[in-house]
Amino acid sequence: MASPLERKIKITGPVVVTANRVADGAVIYRDADGDWTTSLDAAAVATDAARAHALIAEANADDLRAVGAYIAPVELTEAGGRRPGNLRELIRLSGPTIELPVTFGI
Amino acid sequence: MYIYDSIDRTLVAERVAEFRDQVARRLSGELTEDEFKPLRLMNGVYLQLHAYMLRIANPYGTLSSRQLRQLAHVARRYDRGYGHFTTRQNIQFHWIKLEQLPDAMADLAAVGMHGMQTSGNNVRNITTDQWAGVAPDEIEDPRIWAEIIRQHVTLHPEFSFMPRKFKICVGAASHDRAALRIHDLAFRLHRNAGGEAGFEVMVGGGLGRTPYLAQTIRPFLKKCDLLSYVEAVLRTYNQFGRRDNIWKARIKILVHDLGAEAFAKEVEAEWQSIKDGPLALDAATVAEIASRFVYPDYEALEDGPPELAAARRADGRFDRWVNNAVANHKKSGYAIVTLSLKPEGGTPGDATAVQMDALADLADRYSFGEIRIGHEQNLALPHVAQRDLPAVWRALDALGLATPNIGLVSDIISCPGLDYCSLANARSIPIAQEITRRFHDLDRQRDLGRLHINISGCINACGHHHVGHIGILGVEKNGEEFYQITLGGEADDHAVLGTLIGPAVPYAKVADVVEDIAAAYLDLRTGPDELFIDTLKRTGIEPFRERVYAAR
Ligand code: HEM
Ligand code: SF4
């Protein structure tokens, strides 16, 4: 497989760069200051391939903090917020769609 | 129960120390992810959607109460208070932090548990019948033979970097409860015409993208030849297996491409050259390993104690549970009790720390401190005195572990799917939950009888969908969750792969389709005695297909 850096980046809508945090695996997003955030609303949004390319290149270079960075679709809300662009990203952001067993039954 | 020797204990302790160092170096940036990933995988650490996951081997599905208590402790201290029992008799924790993994592993190592060989291209945790050592229909305890293999292949350099992962299963009963034919290599202990016990050797099974059932390459193998034969199979695979293409690397592809007969020929040729060498098993070696499986000090008891009969008459719920979840034991006066991890609306295979702790106590009190894990993602107490069944039931019922649905439509096998797994196309768990809600009426479930639903969230088939009576496979279509339905799969003695019935259906329709299939069965069966799978065999899938697609 080509590395994410070499892969051609095609963008059809707004995207963010997301990964898992090294220390605990938490879902994180690349922000505009070159840091990582757990808030999708604070993520840097790219709307063109050049910006997306720059974000993923920075993210991949940050191996100490992030694992498995990739480009994920987002939707922009009218209020200026973000929504995950697909179900997988929604589940990554908000957790499993099921009740966790601790709260289930006993 | 199996007693570990000091070699195993030292190995596990060394591994924890080594991993602690590797994690520290990863966190400090000394190791890149590319360098670290193979190291974490060697210890059963995966990365899922939201967190790291730790997979822990439970050899032969046997757990002591001490180990179960430690699993509860790990769940509580390092995870979110629960664990997930899998189809490979393992347990997985889904929320462990990398920073805390070395501590969690050290706590597990204290009770002889670890995640070695739960990942990677080696011989994985060897599985067996969860009723090993207690089933009335078994010839010998299959764990002895599985353990002989395990000791030989564990960390064996020749078998640590094979073309692909390798799964071995050993069964020794007349009924296959371990799904032998879906393994890379499987051994079934049986008696030949002369009354001698030996192994049927099956090779090349596996599900995933290209499912195959294992084929018999030798109907009878003398017990003393077990190890040399394993070695011959693994060497043949190492020599011919494809390393160039991950999708073609499993032994099933090799066996299929060469043909079982040609493959068997290669194995036999290899075997002839080593069978009389150092791998030939002598009685003393076998006896030494067998001596490490310690059996309880059973009381001399009669079957069918009067207090059991009285309790069954007095309480219909108890009686129905006994009919469903209690099986005969080798020893008179005892029983094997299966505990359903499939409550209505729950996640198949999940158990909370509270349940694990309480179950460990129950095992100490009523089952000689032993618990079993079955590939259907249920647990068992393997040695319960029949007179104790009412007390055990009351305790299990209070813990939510006595749903009398073993083998019924709501006893669903399901992988974690898109709620956890980074490889998933679609969710599995909520599909399972919705089906259990639709069939919440236990009388209706009993009327439907034995019916196995297996669900996987992608083609890797961790949820064994190919061998479910009803198989459900999550696929993705234009960003939406869709599900392919197969019918007629079976994992046991009559193992067969299911047949796809038609176009995939959307998420919201899956439970409706299952209801249609159940309704079609009720219409088609000759009577309540004809099981779902038998009706299906008699009629073929056509009438079921019609019912499902006529409506949509
Ligand atoms: C992080 C979660 C998991 C990952 C990444 C994962 C990955 C995979 C992959 C890639 C395969 C296919 C391998 C191949 O065919 O060569 C596979 C097979 C399998 N997995 Fe998983 N799995 C996960 C969780 C589980 C769980 C929870 C279970 C049990 C419920 C499970 C049971 C199995 C089984 C039985 C197979 C063998 C299917 C076969 O025979 O091909 N896995 N898994
Ligand atoms: S079948 Fe697919 S979705 Fe389910 S656990 Fe396995 S890899 Fe994940």
| CATH at residue B180 | 3.30.413.10
Q: Are residues B540 and B443 in the same domain?
A: yes
Residue with tokens 């050899």: B59
What is the ipTM score, two decimals? 0.90
A27 close to A93: Cβ distance less than 8 angstroms: yes
DSSP classification of residue A9:
P
| Number of structural domains found in chain B | 4
User: Which protein residue has the closest C-alpha to ligand 2 atom 2?
Assistant: B458
Q: Are residues B176 and B218 in the same domain?
A: yes
B237 close to B163: Cβ distance less than 8 angstroms: yes
Query: How high is the pLDDT of residue B245?
Result: 62
Ligand nearest, relative to CA of residue B90: 1
* Closest by CA position to A39, among listed A4, A74, A78, A14: A74
B61 close to B373: Cβ distance less than 8 angstroms: yes
Residue B90 forms part of a structural domain: yes
Residue B300 forms part of a structural domain: no
- How many Cβ atoms are within 10 Å of B261's Cβ, its own excluded? 9
User: Which protein residue has the closest C-alpha to ligand 1 atom 33?
Assistant: B462
Query: What single letter denotes the amino acid at residue B451?
Result: L
* Closest by CA position to A98, among listed B347, B174, B455: B347
Domain end among B232, B260, B291: B291
Taking the C-alpha atoms of residue B168 and residue B514, their distance in angstroms, rounded to an integer, is: 33
- Cα distances from A94 to residues A14, A38, A89, B420, B467, in angstroms, run 20, 11, 9, 12, 33
User: Which protein residue has the closest C-alpha to ligand 1 atom 24?
Assistant: B462
Residue B331 forms part of a structural domain: yes
* Atom number in ligand 1 closest to CA B377: 30
Determine the longest span between alpha carbons in chain A, in angstroms: 51
DSSP, collapsed to helix, strand or coil, labels residue B181 as helix
Q: Are residues B275 and B311 in the same domain?
A: no
Residue B512 forms part of a structural domain: yes
Distance from CA of A88 to the nearest CA of B (A): 7
Query: How high is the pLDDT of residue B35?
Result: 94
Is B81 within 8 Å of A102 when comparing Cβ atoms?
Answer: yes
Asked if the C-beta of B438 comes within 8 angstroms of chain A's C-beta atoms, the answer is: no
* Closest by CA position to B462, among listed B84, B39, B162: B84
Which range marks the domain in which residue B512 is found? 413-550
Query: How high is the pLDDT of residue B116?
Result: 74
Query: How high is the pLDDT of residue A1?
Result: 39
Taking the C-alpha atoms of residue B234 and residue B245, their distance in angstroms, rounded to an integer, is: 18
Strand positions, DSSP E, A4-97: 15-21, 27-30, 36-37, 66-76, 82-84
Q: Which residues of B touch A88 (CB under 8 A)?
A: 49, 418, 424
Residue B280 forms part of a structural domain: yes
Query: What single letter denotes the amino acid at residue B61?
Result: G
Q: Are residues B421 and B493 in the same domain?
A: yes
Is B47 within 8 Å of A63 when comparing Cβ atoms?
Answer: no
Helix ranges, B315-428 (H)? 316-325, 353-366, 389-399
Q: Are residues B243 and B150 in the same domain?
A: yes
Q: Are residues B154 and B251 in the same domain?
A: yes
Domain end among B399, B428, B456: B399
Q: Are residues B545 and B431 in the same domain?
A: yes
B83 within ligand 2 shell (Cβ under 6 A): no
DSSP, collapsed to helix, strand or coil, labels residue B153 as helix
Q: How far is the CA of B87 from the centre of ligand 2 (A)?
A: 12
- Cα distances from A33 to residues A29, A30, A81, in angstroms, run 11, 8, 18
Q: Are residues B392 and B455 in the same domain?
A: no
Domain end among B94, B109, B124: B109
Give kind and range of the element (H or E) at residue B219: strand B215-222
CA angle B505, B506, B508 (to 5 degrees): 120
B256 close to B305: Cβ distance less than 8 angstroms: no
Query: What single letter denotes the amino acid at residue B497?
Result: L
Share of chain A above pLDDT 90, in %: 75
Residue B47 forms part of a structural domain: yes
User: Which protein residue has the closest C-alpha to ligand 1 atom 31?
Assistant: B462
- C-alpha torsion B135→B140→B146→B151, nearest 10: 130
Is B50 within 8 Å of A95 when comparing Cβ atoms?
Answer: yes
Q: Are residues B150 and B270 in the same domain?
A: yes
* Closest by CA position to B503, among listed B446, B452, B552: B552
B456 within ligand 2 shell (Cβ under 6 A): yes
Window 46-85 of B: residues touching A by CB (8 A cutoff) are: 47-52, 80-82
B115 close to B43: Cβ distance less than 8 angstroms: yes
B101 close to B41: Cβ distance less than 8 angstroms: no
Q: Are residues B383 and B249 in the same domain?
A: no
CA angle B503, B349, B61 (to 5 degrees): 115
* Closest by CA position to B489, among listed B185, B178, B207: B207
Taking the C-alpha atoms of residue B68 and residue B355, their distance in angstroms, rounded to an integer, is: 10
* Closest by CA position to A51, among listed A83, A80, A91, A9: A9
Asked if the C-beta of B166 comes within 8 angstroms of chain A's C-beta atoms, the answer is: no
Q: Are residues B345 and B421 in the same domain?
A: no
Q: Are residues B27 and B94 in the same domain?
A: yes
When pLDDT is averaged across residues A45-59 and rounded to a whole number, the result is 95
pLDDT digit of tens for each residue in chain B (552 aa)? 556 666 677 888 888 999 999 999 999 999 999 999 989 988 899 999 999 999 998 888 899 999 999 999 999 999 999 999 988 788 999 999 999 999 999 999 999 898 876 666 677 778 899 999 999 999 999 999 999 998 888 767 776 666 677 889 999 999 999 899 999 999 999 999 999 999 999 999 999 888 999 999 999 999 999 999 999 998 888 887 666 666 567 889 889 988 999 999 999 999 999 999 999 999 999 999 999 888 999 999 999 999 999 999 999 999 999 999 999 999 999 999 999 999 999 999 999 999 999 999 999 999 999 999 998 999 999 999 999 999 999 999 999 999 999 999 999 999 999 999 999 999 999 999 999 999 999 999 999 999 999 999 999 999 999 999 999 999 999 989 999 999 999 998 889 999 999 999 999 999 999 999 999 999 999 999 999 999 999 999 999 999 999 867
B498 within ligand 2 shell (Cβ under 6 A): no
Distance from CA of B427 to the nearest CA of A (A): 9
Query: How high is the pLDDT of residue A3?
Result: 44
* Rg, Å, chain A Cα set: 15
Residue B407 forms part of a structural domain: no
Q: Which of B203, B347, B460, B465 to mutate to test the pocket of ligand 1 (most atoms within 8 A of CB)?
A: B460
Q: Which residues contact B403 (CB under 8 A, 6 or more apart)?
A: B340, B342, B343, B344, B410
Q: How far is the CA of B507 from the centre of ligand 1 (A)?
A: 22
Residue B148 forms part of a structural domain: yes
Is A101 within 8 Å of B82 when comparing Cβ atoms?
Answer: yes
Instruction: Report the CATH number that the domain containing residue B339 is assigned in CATH.
Output: 3.90.480.20
How far is CA B246 from its chain centroid?
23
